[in-house]
Structure 1
Amino acid sequence: VPMLRLRARLAVASDRLGISHFLLAASRRLPSAWQRLTIVTWHRVAKNVAPGFDPGTVSATPEQFDRQIAMLKASFSIIDIAALARYRDEGRALPPCPALLTFDDGYRDNLTVAVPILKKHRAHAVFFVSTGFMEERKLFPWEWISAIVTSSRRSRIDVSYPEPMSLGLGDDVSRRMAVRRLIHRTRTWVGLDWTRFAKELAETCESPWDRDKEAKAADELILDWAGVRALVEEGMDVQSHGHSHALFPYISADDIHQELSTSRQLLERHLGRPPSAVAYPAGAYPIPGTPRYHAVERAGYRFGFRLDQRTRMLGGITDWLSLPRLCSDPGLGDDQFRSMLAFPNILR
């Protein structure tokens, strides 16, 4: 926490002193090989989250997002996956200060809130969607965990599956901590029976939850295939975020291949063309050179995106299946966001 506070203060100071503005302006004059590829990601753009659902998925308010896109347009050249492919395969030059704007998961407000702001600024973005949730009309696990726990009237719960946990729910802070602990523990649990976990968690919390309730909530929160097609119709790009949002370091190479092949087939069926890029769920990417890594290649993907608050110099990119991205956060002021863009590898 002290280090985070120090970085925040440094970001604010550098912006007020004009250092961020200077660096962003100077970067446009660098030789092409020294130019950095800046990739920024968001999840949700929303002012208010529906009661019970996970506020941690919001990356910016609409007002913040509007200012962030204006900043990006002023200092960067917004590109798309096709331009990146031409640079990689044919050596075609990218414009000065290339930036790729991306969204993960496939929330409905990507279409209803983010896209109008992007179009206002004549900006393009890539939307990485988890196809299983479009196909089956279900919620992401972190959403239904949050909904079940926060609606409980109990002051404490004892969870037995997948492992014993005693969680206090006495106040809002305790409930948020309980939700975060359950999400953190279950997302990396190999072979977790999600149906059993949801049923037992709802029973323990004494919170009514069933498939119909989940499907109704999914319709409100998550894009369906009509919404995904609407993204394309609005001039945006849609790529893969896996099928079930499984974290690749925790599943086998065969399971990764199945995840990505299924997602690829569904996207091709609904959009008329297969994806060439994947954003790894939660940014958790397979280690280069391992069978898991090669499974991504075998499934037909040419670009892979992770999350680790870095950028890369174009001339130094050798691994196109492990491209780093910067992640927006609603706690970032405009000065911090600008400083993140100006020197991300320092103020991480």
Structure 2
Amino acid sequence: MNIKGSSRSAIEIISGHMALKWQRRPNGLYCFNYHRIGHAADSEFDPNVFSCSEERFAQHLKLYKQDFDVVSIDELIALHINRQKIKERLAVITFDDGYIDNYLVAYPMLKSAGISAGFFVSTDYIDKPETPWWDEVGWIVRHAEAKTVKLPHWSQPVNIADGSIRMRVRRLLRAVKQDNSLGMTEKLTQLKQVLQLDSKHMPKPTDLFINWAQLKEMADNGMHIGSHTLSHNILSHLSVEKQLIELAQSKQRLETMLNCNVSSVAYPVGGTDSFTQETQQLVHQAGYQLAFSFMSGVNTDLSVNNRFQLRRFPIEEDASRWQLKQMVNRFFTLWTNEI
């Protein structure tokens, strides 16, 4: 009885401490980023792009509305243009990649909640539907019989047999992303050859992504549509000329098809090594107002030094409201976006 009582007290203390820290979280812009809404078990591809279930997403929306002033990306741009400081706890919801469940599941829920979210899409996947490279890596791991894989120019093999499917795919994706010596198509071709999967055909990516009519409907009904480049290639792996093509032509394509101004972009992959200072200059040159990374943290301002590398909290592994709060609390001391 005493042990149980002590354990209960410890849990209560931890919960109370977390709640107090959450209540004291500072003013700033809190961006929460999603990819897919659904269940990873229903897919043959990358399980890590499934952020949460529909039920969890409904809980998250209630949390955002309750504990933040939820704003649109267009409102953020207005704050920047008017040089207004962030004096509240603002929340922005974003989605990367443009999967079909964004339209079928997330969009109706957002409309019902009266929330405008930002959707960043790679236009090549709308124009020419195909399996994206990260989902192809997921398929490769699920079908490989080998325990490890190593491309000829890699120094170490990658373990693709041990751990959960999420961890195995994540390991191989990390190796593929870090390798800038070859193009993505070449790396995937080599992986299939080494693992003897080149004779096996992946399922057709039927209706995997949003189409133009669906995206237009979302834009016409208050959702913010931004660029995720043309091809979702990692920008820092490309030449300056190719980076500008990815940024400028995707913006032009979206504006032509949606008949609206496209003012924001999210960097594919979005980690510290996926874009450079030069990339940010190209974003400005292409005519964007804001750019989003995939690095966690709170944004304190929308100044010139910050607006092309806005931080976002990744929503992953069907996080509960408690886990979401815990994740945000963990980053209170990591304020790198100060004036």
Query: What band does the TM-score fall into relative to the shorter chain?
Result: 0.7 to 0.9
Match of 2:102 in 1: 110
Match of 2:20 in 1: 19
After superposition, what is the alpha-carbon deviation per residue over 1:50-108, rounded to whole angstroms, capped at 9, x for unaligned?
Answer: 34211111111111111111000011111112211221112468784221111111111
- 2:44 partner amino acid: G
**Consecutive unaligned residues in structure 1, runs of 5 or more:** 1-8, 28-34
Verify: 1:143 aligned to 2:143, yes or no: no
How big is the shift at 1:264?
Answer: 0.7
Distance 1:14 1:344, change over 3 A: farther
Match of 2:4 in 1: none
- 1:114 partner amino acid: A
In structure 2, distance between residues paired with 1:97 and 1:280: 24
User: Superposed, which structure 2 residues align to 1:124-143 within 5 Å?
Assistant: 124-143=116-135
Contact 1:40 1:100 in 2 (8 A): yes
**Consecutive unaligned residues in structure 2, runs of 5 or more:** 1-9
Distance 1:11 1:329, change over 3 A: farther
Contact 2:48 2:316 in 1 (8 A): no
Verify: 1:74 aligned to 2:75, yes or no: no
- 2:109 partner amino acid: I
How big is the shift at 1:307?
Answer: 2.3
Distance 1:168 1:287, change over 3 A: closer
Match of 2:323 in 1: 336
Match of 2:177 in 1: 187
Contact 1:168 1:174 in 2 (8 A): no
Contact 1:280 1:304 in 2 (8 A): yes
SS at match of 2:207: helix
TM-score (norm 1): 0.80
- 1:187 partner amino acid: K
Identity over aligned pairs, percent: 25
Verify: 1:121 aligned to 2:113, yes or no: yes
In structure 2, distance between residues paired with 1:209 and 1:257: 35
Verify: 1:65 aligned to 2:41, yes or no: no
Distance 1:175 1:22, change over 3 A: closer
| CA root-mean-square deviation | 3.4
After superposition, what is the alpha-carbon deviation per residue over 1:230-252, rounded to whole angstroms, capped at 9, x for unaligned?
Answer: 32244211101112212233323
Higher helix share: 1
Distance 1:263 1:285, change over 3 A: farther
Contact 1:287 1:293 in 2 (8 A): no
In structure 1, distance between residues paired with 2:139 and 2:238: 27
Verify: 1:238 aligned to 2:237, yes or no: no
In structure 2, distance between residues paired with 1:175 and 1:40: 24
User: Superposed, which structure 2 residues align to 1:198-209 within 5 Å?
Assistant: 198-207=188-197, 208-209=199-200
SS at match of 1:283: coil
SS at match of 2:96: strand
SS at match of 2:269: helix
Verify: 1:37 aligned to 2:29, yes or no: yes
Count how many residue pairs are aligned between Structure 1 and Structure 2.
325
TM-score (norm 2): 0.82
